[in-house]
A and B are shown apart, each in its own frame.
Chain A
């Protein structure tokens, strides 16, 4: 769906995106992760033809975004972290205006989309009277109007309350599963990305650190929670014995290749440690992300 090849962008002396190559397959929810200034928004800007790359090419559906803008973007919808509208016009009028930049709007289609995002009751009110959540829903409506195949969502949950985040997540899943939309989802909320995305890319200082299915990375390596009476002594001994590769905070440990939880239990009991807790833990995206961003353990 999206093919990015050797794309670089520099703003003055700052390298925002460095020789980035990435492919986003059709039909999935693809996450784009990275701290502030990692280059995510620049990349999204380039995908939408708003930021002009210094080198490389970006294609959507096989069409170059810059040389065949209309073809590339005619089935693309986008939302930005702070959606902006013509405040003095109604939501309906805003939808008509934005839609006309792609293709003439059919009132029936607009009604359908407005219903989907749950804005029927207020759609004829001026946007200036909308809450942040309603603006996000209006933004989603304008993104859905051109009957997109690809949705680009740049921090869509930013500023939403927990209920709004939940609604947005469900809507994104629905759009992916029922409507078959490919979704490129950029967010700081790791839990959101974990729940939504089947694949992701992690960027740092403009460089791509990882791309693919994070769950398959090191999948054979198990993580445990090990808590015993003499914690420090046990950690040192387990590392020395080669049963555990590393310890993190709070007794979180990564098992060495080939080791398993039963061996660890036996080993600890045999050496007289009183085991308080010993159980496998699911590795979260946060663990993966922090490991990637700060290789070697630091979490700050």
Chain B
């Protein structure tokens, strides 16, 4: 019964045209990022960075490196927005449309309903991240015609790494897996707002505001010693799998921190939802 209800919840999410417009938009963004990376200035900066460190740029300018670059920009530009949109919609939109009232005239408990919706959102987030990972890699490989070796440069994480193709592919898969886990926090935050008495758009905007504020404050030097309190510090743990020696303990800490935060969001959202009155 639970499985069937979850299946229908997923169907509701995936049967929307908007879902596919979003998926299509990501592909569009990937093509745009690829095009921008071809600009002479971008290519020059890339080549300069690698040659300055004693690497041959042509070895690394392949599908894997491009996929990683695409992912970094896609997540920053659209990933958070899209997850906030879906998470912010999932409860609030149903309330706004009136379908929630129809559902709640059934003998399903509010908590069970929320659990189903939460799980559907979590699955959706994971699917979106995996989709991003695959399409980015495909876009990079199609463009360069080969996987190439992997080069990763993330200044904020003090990360400069190169990997041979096979190792790079494995790290890339791990990074996508991590991304599917850490990005759940954005969906969870949006979900919590969605459970409160507000419009879907307000839930989305609030989520983005929190994430943006968190990101800005985290980068303010004054807050450096408090950085482990910031959500974006922990969501960035997905790139830490590219360190030579993977800091599993630190990654684990981040995942636990995010899981605890997500659980808090769930409890707050569930309380708001369970104590609400639903009227036309």
Contacts and interface: CB of A to CB of B under 8 A. Distances in A.
Contacts, number: 91
B8 A100 contact: yes
Interface in A50-90: 50-52, 69-74, 76-78, 80-86, 88-89
Nearest to B99: A84
A191 interface: no
Contacts of A69: 107, 109
B107 A88 contact: no
Interface residues of A, number: 40
A50 B104 contact: yes
A102 B104 CA distance: 10
B4 A98 contact: no
Contacts of B99: 84-86
A104 B3 CA distance: 11
Contact of A45 (B17, B113, B279): B279
A77 B104 CA distance: 11
Contacts of A101: 5, 103, 106-108, 113
Contacts of B11: 89, 93, 97
Nearest to A16: B279
Contact of A80 (B1, B8, B101, B108): B101
Nearest to B105: A78
A146 B278 CA distance: 22
Interface in B25-84: none
Central interface residue in B99, B102, B107, by most chain A CB within 10 Å: B107
Contacts of B146: none
A6 interface: no
Given A88-B16, A89-B15, A45 B277 contact: yes
Contact of A96 (B8, B16, B17, B280): B8
A77 B97 CA distance: 20
A48 B102 contact: no
B170 interface: no
Given A86-B12, A100-B4, A41 B107 contact: no
Query: How many of chain B's residues touch chain A, expressed as a range?
Result: 20 to 34
A212 interface: no
A137 to B, nearest CB: 15
B98 interface: yes
A52 B275 contact: yes
A85 B1 contact: no
B98 A70 contact: no
Interface string A170-182: 0000000000000
A157 interface: no
Given A70-B107, A86-B99, A97-B12, 11 more contacts: A11-B277, A41-B280, A45-B278, A50-B104, A80-B101, A84-B101, A93-B15, A100-B4, A100-B5, A104-B4, A152-B105
30 contacts: A11-B277, A45-B279, A50-B104, A50-B277, A51-B278, A52-B275, A52-B277, A70-B107, A70-B109, A78-B102, A78-B105, A80-B101, A82-B98, A82-B280, A83-B102, A84-B97, A84-B101, A85-B102, A86-B99, A88-B16, A89-B12, A93-B15, A97-B8, A97-B12, A98-B106, A101-B103, A101-B106, A101-B107, A104-B1, A142-B102
Interface of B: 1, 4-5, 8, 11-12, 15-17, 97-99, 101-109, 113, 275, 277-280
